Amino acid sequence: MSRRWHSASAPGKFVILGEHSVVYGKPAVVLAADCRITCSVRRSRRNTLNGEPIEFARQPLLRYLTRNLRHAADFMTSSDIPAGAGLGSSAALSAAMALAIGSMEGTDPGERQLVDEAYNAELSLQGSGSPMDASACVHGKGIGVNLPGTEDRKLWRISRNGNVWNVSDIDVPEMTFVVGNTGVKAPTGPQVDKVRRFVSRSNFAMEMIEEIGNVTLSGYEALKKNDVETLGRMMLIDHKLLSILGVSCRELNKLVNAALPFSYGAKLTGSGGGGCMIALTDQPERVSSAITSRGGTAYIMKTGTPGAKIEECMPDGPLFDIPVF
């Protein structure tokens, strides 16, 4: 039995336009974030995560991803994606872990299978949601969901509970975003449930969802033309619509307002209720200091980050072979 470490990494993601409405099959535009999680795995006698025994009953994500393993394994992870902050950390962890497990088992899952693994792992954690995060973390760079005119770049089609998500590769011009983390933890599941309750009892909420869909399409047209002014304007409208749906919060609004004087546009990203906002800007340093001065943590992000991939190194050192027991 080889006890060689197998490593893989995957990026986080941020949503330029379309979170929440994508859950109802509306379009979305998502980019891979310039930060990654790395997962290493090797055969072992006991199941451990970062040196601690794994309690599968409390780890639905790990339980799902390891369901077909016939042996125990050690997992090591390292990450610069803030957790529970709307940057897709659980999808990135799932994608990196599934790819590392595939490498250990001598199988190459390929992007399509990897997306299914990451999406189902996320569902085991949060119960409902779209395959948007999993798709962005696996494929990297930029993806579009249910965007008309992208059929020739189609990556995959996923359907669940009557909703269909056609995911495509999209061209993303060089742009700079600043991500601002409020530091307020807000898990995805409750935010998605909150919007679902609102939608189920009010036509008005469904109209907001439709409106986010329209804004997303206009923003995508602007992105294709590298028209950052219009794209930024659509991002701000999207933020206002999401606020009406009840998923923004004081801290997010504070950081959005701080970024706006130096940005084309800004909005919350991900499920909201806390977590992160993004600003599209060509003055990243000024936006970063505005965010920092209001108590947020800022990360400058460029476009073009690669998706899930095999890594040659352990997170903290070179790959090495350990003798069999």
Q: Nearest to residue 106, comparing CAs of 323, 310, 320, 321?
A: 310
Residues near 113 by Cβ (< 8 Å), separated by ≥ 6? none
Question: Binding ligand PMV by CB under 6 A: which of 8, 16, 17, 23?
Answer: 23
Per-residue tokens: 74: 């050690």
The least CB distance from residue 302 to ligand PMV, in Å, is 20
Binding characters for ligand PMV, 174-193, by CB under 6 A (x = yes): --------------x---x-
Helices (H), 153-297: 188-201, 203-224, 228-245, 250-259, 284-293
CB of 118 to ligand PMV, least distance (A): 12
Find where tokens 């497990």 sit. Answer: 101
| Residue 139 interacts with ligand PMV (CB under 6 A): yes or no | no
Q: Select from 94, 103, 120, 130 the one that contacts ligand PMV (CB under 6 A).
A: 130
Min CB(90)–ligand PMV separation in Å: 7
Tokens of 9: 């990494």
Q: How many residues bind ligand PMV (CB under 6 A)?
A: 15
Nearest CB to ligand PMV, comparing residues 38 and 271: 271
Task: For the CB of residue 92, give the shortest distance to ligand PMV in the complex, in Å.
Answer: 10
From 30-38, 58-66, 127-135, 200-208, give the range in contact with ligand PMV by CB under 6 A.
127-135
CB of 27 to ligand PMV, least distance (A): 12
CA distance 156 to 251: 36
* 20 belongs to the binding site for ligand PMV (CB under 6 A): yes
CA distance 28 to 26: 7
Residue of closest CB approach to ligand PMV:
129
We find the least distance from the C-beta atom of residue 22 to ligand PMV, in angstroms, to be 5
Sole residue written with tokens 């909420």: 205
129 sits near ligand PMV (criterion: CB under 6 A) = yes
Here the tokens at position 285 are 């340093």
Are the C-beta atoms of 103 and 310 separated by less than 8 Å? yes
Confirm or reject binding of residue 271 to ligand PMV (CB under 6 A): yes
CB 10 within 8 A of CB 307: yes
- DSSP strand pairing (6-17 vs 309-311): antiparallel
Q: Is 22 in the site for ligand PMV (CB under 6 A)?
A: yes
**Contact predicate 190/273, CB 8 Å:** yes
Contact positions with ligand PMV (CB under 6 A) in 73-102? 86-88
Question: From CA 36, how far away is CA 44, in angstroms rounded?
Answer: 25
Other CB atoms within 10 Å distance of the CB of residue 262: 19
Contact letters for ligand PMV, residues 186-225 (x by CB under 6 A): --x---x---------------------------------
Beta-carbon contacts of residue 255 (< 8 Å; ≥ 6 apart): 180, 182, 266, 277, 291, 294, 296
- Min separation Cβ 320 and ligand PMV, Å: 34
Please say which residue, 14 or 262, places its beta carbon nearer to ligand PMV: 14
Min dist CB 188 to ligand PMV, Å, is 4
Residues that bind ligand PMV (CB under 6 A): 19-20, 22-23, 86-88, 129-130, 132-133, 188, 192, 270-271
